[in-house]
Structure 1
Amino acid sequence: MFIEKADLGSVIYDYQLDQITEGDDDKVAQACNAAIEEAKSYLTPNIDNKKWLDGRLLYDVEAIFSKVGDDRHSLIVQHCCTLAKWYVAELCNADFIYEKAKERYDRAVSWFTKVATGVINVSTLPQLVRDETTAGDKQPFEFGSRAKFNHEY
């Protein structure tokens, strides 16, 4: 898995994680899986939508999230941990600062959104090559004129 319980130590203390999840590693795994899926959803291009053909970088999401250990992109791991912390925080009544978790979650989502829309480009992430499979037969712009207007009913 791209992130695991041990990785969450950078965003939440172990005692807090254990207290919130009541020591249930399945809840932690569910939060990690949800965070990974959310991150993937931001970075995966919608090739059926013409706006993705505007020249922005298309990231190879499967290559990014298939890495393990030190081969993983550290910023992606950190933001995924922040997202996972948010999913754990939804269970919480422990000594946990909700507003800080919410603020960090919002920042992580904002960062992923900026990367997905091309505002931020991460040069160290694997990218897809634009070809028939990624662009299809759609073009980013359409040319032509409108049909002649006729007043007849």
Structure 2
Amino acid sequence: MAFLEIEDMGSAIYDYQIEQIADGNDEAMPDAINAAIEEVKAYLTQNDRKEYNDGRPHYDVEKIFSKIGTERNALLLQKTKTIAKFHFIDLCNADILYERAQKNYDRAIAFLVKLSKGDVTISGLDLIDDTEVPGEDEPLPYRSGSRKKFNHE
């Protein structure tokens, strides 16, 4: 079992639409689901930019996406379904309002951007424990610089 399965897509797209779009290609929906999961993971994964050590939440992505069934976060699951649907319907426009799907996709991405920046939070998402003390061989984080220039505009 994975975080998102084909059976879960019933709340985002009808079965007959999946059959029409896939047109016998059994790998089309699993590919769209995998692409969606990787896209959502990319928004939740901390990169190595030092500016991101400013108190933003660091999500335990592997733990979040290893959950199944009712353990999954419902909001994140729905956003992932929306993105999977968009990746899937990109193959065809059979009986689907493409503009509506595009708007839903854009809203999901905007939400994930806010989530990654720490502007919004989802309760219950696993965080990486940042309280660990660096080892003796690891240097302590150090920042230097000056304030941004004040401007009266």
TM-score, normalised by the number of residues in structure 2: 0.85
Query: Deviation of residue 52 (structure 1)?
Result: 1.2
- Which residue of 1 is the match for residue 100 of structure 2? 100
Q: Which amino acid aligns with 1:11?
A: A
Q: Is 1:5 aligned with 2:6?
A: yes
- Which residue of 1 is the match for residue 144 of structure 2? 142
CA contact (8 A) 1:20 1:93 kept: yes
SS at 2:95 equivalent = coil
For 1:31 and 1:138, how far apart are their aligned partners in 2? Answer: 39
Aligned pairs for 1:1-153 within 5 A: 1-46=2-47, 48-130=48-130, 131=132, 132=134, 137-139=140-142, 141-142=143-144
Query: Where do 4+ consecutive residues of structure 1 move more than 6 Å?
Result: none
For 1:15 and 1:137, how far apart are their aligned partners in 2? Answer: 56
Q: Which of the pair is proportionally richer in helix? A: 1
> Which piece of structure 1 moves more, 17-26 or 108-117?
17-26
CA contact (8 A) 1:50 1:138 kept: no
TM-score, normalised by the number of residues in structure 1: 0.85
For 1:137 and 1:101, how far apart are their aligned partners in 2? Answer: 46
Q: Note the residue ranges of structure 2 that are not aligned, 5 or more in a row.
A: 147-153
Query: Deviation of residue 142 (structure 1)?
Result: 1.3
Structure with bigger gyration radius: 1
Give aligned-pair identity as a percent: 44
Aligned length: 141
SS at 1:25 equivalent = coil
Query: Deviation of residue 123 (structure 1)?
Result: 2.5
Q: Which amino acid aligns with 1:63?
A: K
Query: Deviation of residue 138 (structure 1)?
Result: 3.4
SS at 1:116 equivalent = helix
Query: Deviation of residue 129 (structure 1)?
Result: 1.2
Distance 1:90 1:13, change over 3 A: same
